[in-house]
Amino acid sequence: MKTAFTCLALLLAAPAAATMCDAVWRDGPRGRDVPVRINLPDGKQKAPAVIWSPGLGGTRSNAARWVAAWTAAGIAVIRLEHPGSDAAVYRGPATPQERDARVRAGIAPEQVLARIADVGFVADELARRPSEGACDLTRIESDHLALAGHSMGAWVVQAMAGQRPDGEHAPLIDRRFRAFVAMSSSGPADAAMAKAQFGGIGRPLLVITSNADGVPANASAGVVADQRVRRLSLFTGAPAHRPMAARRCCNWTAATTCCLPATPARPPTIWPGRTAWRA
């Protein structure tokens, strides 16, 4: 397998028309409803697909510019909304203490596991369902899937790509996915532990992060240094021969300029000729 794939966003391309369908899919065994938004590229041809997991508080409407770029490149996108760690975390009035409690509940291990199960369930449904509304799901190449996520969604990506929490076993790996994109990822600060956890990842992986993501403006030098190492942990721990990139921006606000498009006039595009994960 070649070592590069179609997930690196650059600049300056106009998105093509795409079909969009919203749905709520019921996972009966778990008693859980999973909202999805499906975007199919223009045309009738078969298309590989990216499943997107948003960050804490995210919804299925997130990542619109990435979606426009992917569909313009002929890639279908299915965005998920994860009950328990979606917009309800930040919705409505709350004291700082109440807000902190909601956030802690939203990022609890059981919520991460629920998200991972959501992704697996949606991958199953894509292979099973012939259509959803106006969206012809038979166009989707269910054996050519990529998984992308931001922040908490990147935790999902790391786990399903083959992260080994104990340094030995990857209990949550999902081999249906041929490529992975982790945006604003994080991991252990210790370099040896980072290699132990991420060194076994064996499929194409793109890491996009800033070197001070989530660091408060008044943070001490020690906190800044620790967060920098944790944010780059996946980048430094995963095998060097896999395609990876990290944006060393000053913070996430800056990253929206140097890692993501700054204006609607500058949407991301897809690096041409990098489609090994589809082969």
Task: Print pLDDT tens along the chain (279 aa).
Answer: 334 334 333 333 444 467 999 999 999 999 999 999 999 999 999 999 999 999 999 999 999 999 999 999 999 999 999 999 999 999 999 999 999 999 999 999 999 999 999 999 999 999 999 999 999 999 999 889 999 999 999 999 999 999 999 999 999 999 999 999 999 999 999 999 999 999 999 889 998 887 667 777 788 888 888 888 888 898 888 886 544 444 444 333 333 323 333 334 444 434 433 334 444
Angle among Cα 89, 91, 95 to the nearest 5 degrees reads: 85
The answer to whether position 70 is within a domain reads yes
Rounded CA separation 192/251 (Å): 25
Q: Do 206 and 180 meet the contact criterion of CB atoms below 8 Å apart?
A: yes
d(CA 148, CA 254): 21
Q: Is 83 exposed, middle or buried (0-12, 13-18, 19+ CB in 10 A)?
A: middle
Q: Is residue 80 part of a domain?
A: yes
Question: In this structure, what DSSP letter does residue 144 have?
Answer: E
Q: What sections of the chain are H helices per DSSP? A: 64-72, 96-106, 109-128, 152-161, 191-198, 221-231, 233-237, 252-258
pLDDT number for residue 221: 87
In a domain, 101, yes or no: yes
The reported pLDDT for the residue numbered 264 is 41
- Number of other residues whose CB lies within 10 A of the CB of residue 32: 16
Give me the domain span that covers residue 111.
18-278
Residue 10 included in any domain: no
The answer as to whether 200 is a domain residue is yes
Paired residues of 67 in beta bridges: none
Q: Is 9 part of any domain?
A: no
For residue 11, being part of any structural domain is answered with no
pTM: predicted TM-score of the whole model, two decimal places: 0.82
How far is residue 161 from each of residues 100, 102, 202, measured CA to CA in Å?
Answer: 29, 28, 8
Structurally, the chain folds into a number of domains equal to: 1
Task: Go through the chain and tell me how many residues it has.
Answer: 279
What DSSP state is assigned to residue 186? -
Can you give the CATH number for the domain in which 177 is found? 3.40.50.1820
Does the residue 196 lie in any domain?
yes
